[in-house]
Amino acid sequence: MVLVNGNHFRARQQVVIVDPRKPLDKKLDRLTDVRLILLAEGQTDLPAVLAEHLSSAPLPPVLRLVDTAGIAAFIRQWYLVAAPVLRGLVLAGGRSERMQTDKGALHYHALDQRQHTAALLSEFCPDVRVSVRPDQAADLPAGLKPLPDTFLNLGPLGGLLSAFQADPNAAWLVLACDLPFLTRQTLEFLVTNRQPARAATALKSPWNDFPEPLVTIWEPRSYGQLLRFLSLGYSCPRKALINSDTELLEPPVPAELRNVNTPEEREAAERELIG
């Protein structure tokens, strides 16, 4: 956040302090985007000249300058509304070489993992895409929206960069498709504790204390950072998180971050989930 003194410079998203010692009559042309009006000590009501100037649109909230709690609540809500829209991305473009079959097509729940993961994301994101290789797009189950890779042969980083290329102004909540133990509660914890001003909000891996890049909210500002790392020859999104301004959270249920990559792990997961 940058605070600009409106007496000397023009700025967007303005907060106006009305002080009886400093009339606003000659400054009305600067008031083009008023979001909040604060009444200083000795100012009991809104000046008529200001009310008329702002009459073409709904009147912004009016608070007392001494009402710090009210001002803080307003700015907090303002900040939340200004956060980039959150879109969902299911990473399902891997070749599943260790599993020897497509991990996204496996069934641990009522739906296959691409559908199940997309359903989890849809509770928090207005738009959910499934990251796939271009040759996989036609094979997705009905109802899923493919997002074919435009950055090829880069693994999860390619899917993430392709998502940002599709919408660089959105934040992307990214989930791998091989996390059958992940629940809505963990996602809700991640979204609730999102920090939009940082590059990303990630959960800490319970196995190595590093960020888990495939259960992460990547903010728009991370796009340039990821491209810079790629230009240096790094294609690991975890390294980008470690070396960026990342909000790192302790997962509420660490075992939910367990991924399933091999036939043996799949059999164990099926036994546990059915049991």
Q: What is the pLDDT of residue 88?
A: 98
Q: What is the pLDDT of residue 53?
A: 94
Q: What is the pLDDT of residue 93?
A: 85
Q: What is the pLDDT of residue 97?
A: 82
C-beta separation of 162 from 208 below 8 A: no
The rounded mean pLDDT for the chain is: 93
- Given a cut of 70, whether residue 115 has pLDDT beyond it is yes
Q: What is the pLDDT of residue 174?
A: 98
The stretch 143-169 carries a mean pLDDT of 95
The stretch 13-18 carries a mean pLDDT of 93
Pairing of β 62-64 and β 34-39: parallel
d(CA 96, CA 103): 6
The stretch 63-79 carries a mean pLDDT of 93
More confident position, 7 or 111: 111
Residue-wise pLDDT for 173-226, tens only, equals: 999 999 999 999 999 999 999 999 899 999 999 988 899 999 999 999 999 999
The stretch 86-95 carries a mean pLDDT of 93
The stretch 246-251 carries a mean pLDDT of 97
**DSSP, residue by residue, 200-248:** EEEEEPTTTSSEEEEEEEE-TTHHHHHHHHHHTT---HHHHHHTS-EEE
**In sequence order, what are the residues at sequence separation of 6 or more whose Cβ sits closer than 8 angstroms to the Cβ of residue 199?**
218, 219, 221, 222, 225, 241, 244, 245, 246
Secondary structure of residue 149 in the 3-state scheme: coil
- Given a cut of 70, whether residue 275 has pLDDT beyond it is no
* CA angle, residues 122, 241, 86, in degrees to nearest 5: 25
Q: What is the pLDDT of residue 78?
A: 86
Q: What is the pLDDT of residue 26?
A: 86
- C-alpha dihedral (23, 25, 29, 35), degrees to nearest 10: 50
Residue-wise pLDDT for 141-150, tens only, equals: 999 999 999 9
Per-residue confidence band for 127, with pLDDT thresholds at 50, 70 and 90: very high
The stretch 157-163 carries a mean pLDDT of 96
Structural domains of the chain ordered from first start? 14-82 (no CATH), 86-274 (3.90.550.10)
Ranges of H-type helices in the chain: 48-53, 68-82, 113-122, 156-166, 184-192, 222-231, 237-242, 263-274
The long-range contacts involving 165-170, CB below 8 angstroms and separated by at least 24 positions, are 166/129, 167/87, 168/220, 168/223, 169/84, 169/85, 169/220, 170/84, 170/85, 170/86, 170/87, 170/220
Residue 82: Cβ-neighbour burial (10 angstroms; 0-12, 13-18, 19+)? exposed
Backbone CA torsion sign across 102, 154, 191, 126: negative
